[in-house]
Structure 1
Amino acid sequence: MSFSDEVIPATPSKMSQMKALNFDPKTKRLSLIVKEIPKIKNADDVIVRVTFSGICGTDLHITEGSFPCKDSPLTLGHEFSGLVTQTGKDVTHVKTGDKVVVDPNRQGIGCNKCSYCTNGKYHLCTSGGINNTIGIFRDGGWAEYCIAPACQVFKLPSNISLQTAAMCEPLSCISHGWERLGSVPSYARFIIQGAGIIGNLWATLLHLKGYKYVTVSEPLAKRRELFEKIGTGYEILSPDQLKAKFTNEAAVLEKGFDICIDCSGNATAIESGFSYLRPGGKLCIFGVASPNARINLSPFDIYKKEITIMGVMVNPFSFNKAIALLDSMSERYLKYDILGIKVFGLDQHEEALVELKQGKISKAVFKIC
């Protein structure tokens, strides 16, 4: 499935309202509403007419009430692409009609005073990173128009479509995760927990980089079937099939993994992935779990095997890297049909959420304008 990019002029002066999908955190209800189109207020503001906007696993947690967000009604959506329709007077790097993606997290901006900010880790600041995200704490891209500061708006190369560019934000987080893993030898053995869109994108990145020894674990048969369509040749197993391969410690030493990347956010999956790690292994907790989830790991095994456990949060300074990945991966890996992505209209949001939760698709993306 593909869509042509459309050149859209500036917002008509007589047009003042737009459709938006709003979330009420008190009732946990999504509603398609009509609201005012955002207006330029600051010299560095950019208004984007949204074309494609994805539903993230974090959005599912938000709508279920298990992930923090703004405590009053807002428009969700933090993965989106579109065209510039208006800019503030100080904006020079993009202009009306440019194809762009929006980083929902402000690059390099937190309080600029704490030890995290002053050491280049602004995303760990209590006012930086995910604590001020467009689509979580500010109105986002599940709407016809969205406003963002210029520093969060990135112009796309002409050869990257707006449809493909909707994958930029998740790829920017994966880029950060890859850097967190550090030097990874070519012989490393990987286990990816979960074949939703994030697990699929991790697998395509590893395939792009030439890694051969990759296994994916996914409980849903439909998602295992969708993963096969990507054509990486990687083994994909159900959790029970994977467990049958590792009946004792000797099997883990012989056939286990050097790196587990959890993309499920599921405590049981994280625990099982940890148990399959060989000595010197790394557990990368990438998927977003419920804040109330807990895992039970053996500190003795962590000590004995010298296991490294790391988290990955958002995408510090990695949006330009993600745009480069879009350029490298788009023709081979990022086609919606291959990845199991289905496109919906905003008025189909209930259907989109149901199919996503049931695992019939790997990801849902709204086609808005």
Structure 2
Amino acid sequence: MEAVVFDGSSLNLYYQKDYPLPKLENDDDVIVKVHYSGICGTDLHIIQGEFPAIKTRPIPLGHESSGVIHQVGKNSIFKVGQKVVIDPNTSCSLCDFCRKGNYQYCLTAGINSTIGIWKDGGWAQYVRVPQSQVFALPDGITTEQAGLCEPYSCVSHGFDRASPLKVGDKILILGAGIIGNLWITTLHHHGHREVTVSEMNPTRLDIVKRLDTGFRLVTPDILAKEKTTYDVIIDCTGVGKVMEISFNYMKEGGKYVLFGCCPPSHTSSLNPFDIYNKELTIIGVKINPFSFPSAISWLKAMGTRYLDYHKLGVKTYKLSEYKQAMEDLKKGSVAKAVFKINQD
């Protein structure tokens, strides 16, 4: 089958026409015929060697995938042809973290066993998945829309961590890549209107305009001149220096949501007195523990008003066009690249 394969030992990414087809290994496994599989910012960090991933063998990356059931194990609850989305993360079910419902902290599962990072992922025509990590899509959600379910599940977890977010709060979103855009649509859908979006790339700001939210759009230099303070800052950049600068824009009692995934090498210098004096809250957000059901409900409620690929700046590519996809992401000409597979 076709696949885009990553060799972690050499940091080499390549297209392969004859990657082995997956086979059922357990009675509760399913084989998913992939329709859409996104390229995440984490994937870019992995390819650059800035984020841990499997090195023992080459695998297809891709932890944001939707499609249809192609084959089922004899104990599966799913049916061939069902539309589904894949949750790439799971728990070990044994450690204290997992048994307390916090598998994002698990040292063996969670992000340490992710499909598409440590196991064969969705940048391929087919992928084997334990049925416990598969969710059926309700009527009204397409596999195209469900291609965004995994990142929305992470936003859902972040939304819960940051709650309550009161309508009327002054909110600043840093970065208008796809995660920034998903936060924009989420906040607008939930009734927020006092939102400012900061992005240095004018092309990405133009993309945000397509969403027609009425949010204020600025560049970082404008923020620096204004010195306005905010109740909530949502950092979607994944850049340590951005946090260091933007932390100065916090209002008393404010919350700083560190959402973008920074490489482990990034650092920020913060003033502890400001944290004390303003009673500030710093909120980290890691993956998507048990938030897929919420994300699926969001997708159904948001519909085409918010989930239009063009409005979000999402462009689709064939697996064989992976180099162009990576180049467009690096240039910032698209907010997100998604592989469109098995559509012939």
Contact between 1:111 and 1:127, CA under 8 Å: does it hold in 2?
Answer: no
CA distance in 2, matches of 1:85, 1:286: 34
* 2:194 paired residue number: 213
Counterpart of 1:98 (choices 74, 78, 82) is 82
After TM superposition, the structure 1 = structure 2 runs for residues 132-281 of structure 1, keeping only pairs within 5 Å, are 132-246=113-227, 255-281=228-254
Asked if 1:82 is matched to 2:67, the reply is: yes
Task: Letter of the 2:76 partner, please give it.
Answer: V
Provide the rounded CA distance (Å) in 2 between the counterparts of 1:49 and 1:102. 11
Secondary structure of the corresponding residue to residue 130 of structure 1: helix
Residue 135 of structure 1 aligns to a residue whose secondary structure is coil
Match of 1:323 in 2: 296
For residues 164 and 273 of structure 1, the distance between their equivalents in structure 2, rounded to whole angstroms, comes to 32
Aligned position for 2:109: 128
**Per-residue Cα deviation, 1:26-76 (whole angstroms, up to 9, x for no partner):** 221111111211111101101000011100000000011100001131110
Match of 2:3 in 1: 20
From 311, 314, 334, the counterpart of 1:361: 334
For the Cα contact (< 8 Å) 1:46–1:150, is it kept in 2? yes
Q: CA deviation at 1:182?
A: 2.1
Secondary structure of 2:183 counterpart: helix
- Counterparts of 2:20 and 2:240, CA distance in 1: 41
Deviation at 1:111, TM superposition (A): 5.0
Q: Report if aligned partners of 1:110, 1:123 keep a CA contact under 8 Å in 2.
A: no
Q: Distance in 2 between matches of 1:121 and 1:185?
A: 26
The CA RMSD measured in Å over matched residues stands at: 0.9
Deviations along 1:6-34, whole A, 9 cap, x unmatched?
A: xxxxxxxxxxxx11110011221111111
| 4+ aligned runs moved over 4 Å, structure 1 | none
Query: Counterpart of 2:102 in structure 1: which amino acid?
Result: K
Q: Deviations over 1:311-333 (max 9, x none)?
A: 10010111011000110112101
Give the 3-state SS of the residue equivalent to 1:280 in structure 2. strand
Structure 2 partner of 1:12: none
Q: State the 1:128 CA deviation.
A: 2.0
CA contact (8 A) 1:230 1:333 kept: yes
Aligned residue number for residue 54 of structure 2: 70
Task: Name which of structure 1's ranges 279-288 and 122-131 shifts more when overlaid on structure 2.
Answer: 122-131
Report if aligned partners of 2:93, 2:99 keep a CA contact under 8 Å in 1: no
Letter in 2 for 1:21: V
Q: Deviations over 1:258-283 (max 9, x none)?
A: 11110000112212221101000111
Deviation per residue, 1:136-185 (Å, 9 max, x gap):
00000000000000000110012111111100000000000011012122
Distance in 1 between residues matched to 2:74 and 2:156, nearest whole Å:
33
The one-letter amino acid of 2:183's match is W
Distance 1:166 1:120 in 2: 25
User: For the residues of structure 1 that align with 2:303 and 2:114, how far apart are their CA atoms?
Assistant: 26
CA radius of gyration, larger in: 1
Give the secondary-structure state (helix, strand or coil) at the position aligned to 2:19: strand
Q: Is the 8 A contact 2:241 2:267 kept in 1?
A: no
Partner of 2:127: helix, strand, or coil? strand
Residue 6 of structure 1 aligns with which residue?
Answer: none
Paired residues in the alignment total 340
| Separation in structure 1 between the aligned mates of residue 341 and residue 246 of structure 2, nearest angstrom | 38
Residues of 2 paired with 1:310 and 1:294: CA distance? 16
Contact 2:256 2:281 in 1 (8 A): yes
> In 1, distance between residues paired with 2:328 and 2:155?
24
- The aligned counterpart of 2:94 is 112
Q: Secondary structure at the match of 1:35?
A: coil
1:172 and 1:315 in contact (8 A); partners too = yes
State the identity %.
46
Deviation at 1:125, TM superposition (A): 1.0
Q: Per-residue displacement from partner, 1:93-123 (whole Å, max 9, x unpaired)?
A: x2100000000002xx22513x312322122
- For residue 46 of structure 1, the aligned residue among 24, 30, 54 is 30
Q: Is the 8 A contact 2:161 2:285 kept in 1?
A: yes
**Post-superposition offset of 1:349:** 0.4
What CA deviation, in whole Å up to 9, does each residue of 1:239-272 have, x standing for no partner?
00111101xxxxxxxx410111100001122122
Contact 1:111 1:125 in 2 (8 A): no
> Within 5 Å, which residues of 2 pair with 1:54-65?
54-65=38-49
- Look up the equivalent residue of 1:317 and give its one-letter code: F
Q: Which runs of 5+ in 1 are unaligned?
A: 1-17, 247-254
Code of the aligned partner of 1:88: G
- Superposition TM-score, scaled by structure 2 size: 0.97
